[in-house]
Homo-oligomer: A and B are copies of this chain.
Amino acid sequence: MSVHLYNSMTRTKEEFKPLTEGQVGIYVCGPTVYGPPHLGHAKSYITFDVLVKHLRGRGMQVRYVQNITDVGHLTDNADSGEDKIQKQARIDRVHPLEIVDRYMFQYFTDMEALKIAHPSFYVRATQHIGEQIEAVQILLNKGHAYEIGGNVYFDVNSFPQYGKLSGRVLDEQREAVRVEARSEKRNPRDFALWKKAEPIHILQWNSPWGRGYPGWHIECSVMSTKYLGETFDIHGGGLENMFPHHECEIAQSECVTGKTFARYWVHNNMVTVDGVKMGKSLGNFKTCRDLLTRHSAEAIRVFILSTHYRSPTNYTEEAISAAAAGLTRLAVLKAFLETASKGTEGTNAVSCDISTLCHDADRQIGEALDNDLDTPGAIAHLYTFATAFNRLAAQTPLSPIEAREGLAVLKRWGEDLLGIVPVSAVGKGVADVEPLMDLIIELRKELKTAKRYDLADKIRDQIKIAGFTIEDTREGSRWRRL
């Protein structure tokens, strides 16, 4: 029962040992709120949702911090281009903070709809301008940064370990071509810590270097260490952030503190469409909201979790439906077990077979997740459990206590942790009542024609229990809520 994680920094699967036993600090790069969240976001945040829930399930106390980038994320990955939020605000002719709020709320709503728990708390870049300025000042004082005309750059040559995470040390020449627009830098690989604001730029602040706004990377260095300590356990994010974003975070943070930054680096792979990365900037993205009109949260989650987080997920509509095809089995088993667990008859003993089955499932699913979050394995074990449980239950009658034991397995892993059991697919549930009420009205009409007034009256009386009333008018019967 020890969790192992693939650490991008060491390029090996390692046993996860938090700095303080039983207490975990994790920071995950959150969204830049200038557009609706898409399936690529869903993959990243479902992955870390499951990771955090599993660590908690293993008895650890987890502080999970996620940032909201609400300023200064430029339109391309270099230091040039326009701020993404500013650009969207200009298009929509509103204040940039209206764009931020619109998409921040959409992010919150969509993540909730996907059954992703909120982190312990969110931290916003604009909430930490002062701390970012202080960090830049320290880097200047220590000789790791230099200022030119209101812009402050990190001097990559001052940190020889730059590239240790991504291994992109030799890429210097290629990078040089890509970023040469900013010719005032001493070195093409140097990156912005603070940027001079043009008058058109609405979100800007005073600093020792004049009015400006923070560079793309400094917010994560500052906020992660502020809330989790100078050295902390896990830094998560999408693989596409490994370079340059995470590489820059390491350089900044370790130069400020002189200590190791994050101890474990966990990167989820991307979502592709026809083999190409899905992303807003690429225009080939499927929004979560759109997908949720056609698929349940459970279907999207099982689709994402059926691929290991370090492998790419290729999106097609059919792939989501195929991944979700087996979920009804889990829902039907759950409904069956819920009914069976309610009785009081039968023995209090649990048969050896049921007991073994449940314990095995707990162990196998837990071990799969311990093994670098092997969610495809965990899902396979859950299905195997469901099939075997059904087979046993068909052979001998199930006692309530046995049903409860099976239900606990299903709930612990399928519902609470993976979030793939359709909660309301069977039995109790909320739905559009209109077709049902129309059917009932029609039945009552036929019963009256057949002079079965007893049944017709029964409908009228019973329907009140359901919170409706039927009114007989000259034009026929109408129903409405009480």
Contacts and interface: CB of A to CB of B under 8 A. Distances in A.
A433 B131 CA distance: 53
A143 interface: no
A159 interface: no
Nearest to A471: B332
Contacts of A94: 120
A332 B433 contact: no
A120 B121 CA distance: 23
Interface stretch (A35-43, A264-272, A459-467): A459-467
Contacts of A429: 432-434, 481
B480 A335 contact: yes
A53 B260 CA distance: 53
Contact of A123 (B97, B123, B465): B97
A462 B481 contact: no
B480 A463 contact: no
A205 interface: yes
Contacts of A122: 101
A439 B439 contact: no
A427 interface: yes
Contacts of A130: 129-130, 133, 205-206
A219 to B, nearest CB: 13
A286 interface: no
B134 A121 contact: no
Interface in A94-139: 94-95, 97-98, 100-101, 105, 108, 118, 120-124, 126-127, 129-131, 133-134
Nearest to A424: B481
Contacts of A434: 427-429
A455 B430 contact: no
Interface in A447-463: 447, 450, 452, 455, 458-459, 462-463
A388 interface: no
Nearest to A70: B127
Given A101-B121, A430-B431, A95 B480 contact: no
A124 B127 contact: yes
Chain A interface SS verdict (over half): helix
A443 B429 CA distance: 20
Contact of A127 (B126, B133, B435, B439): B126
Contacts of A459: 439, 443
A440 interface: yes
Nearest to A464: B435
Nearest to A101: B121
A439 B456 CA distance: 12
B433 A430 contact: yes
Contacts of A430: 430-433
A481 B429 CA distance: 9
Contacts of A463: 436, 439
A121 B105 contact: no
B100 A118 contact: no
A427 B98 contact: no
A426 B134 contact: no
Contacts of A120: 94-95, 97-98, 101
A225 to B, nearest CB: 14
Nearest to A467: B431
Contacts of A442: 462
Nearest to A435: B466
A336 to B, nearest CB: 9
Contact of A427 (B100, B465, B480): B480
A425 interface: yes
Contacts of A105: 108, 118
Interface string A403-433: 0000000000000000000001111111111
A184 interface: no
Given A424-B481, A435-B467, A446-B455, 4 more contacts: A101-B118, A332-B480, A426-B480, A431-B467
Listed from nearest, the 6 A-B pairs whose CB atoms lie closest are A435-B466, A97-B121, A101-B121, A426-B480, A436-B436, A127-B127
29 contacts: A94-B120, A95-B121, A98-B120, A100-B121, A101-B122, A105-B118, A124-B124, A124-B127, A126-B127, A129-B129, A130-B130, A130-B205, A131-B205, A426-B481, A427-B434, A428-B432, A428-B434, A430-B433, A431-B466, A432-B466, A433-B436, A435-B466, A436-B463, A436-B466, A439-B459, A439-B462, A439-B466, A447-B455, A452-B452
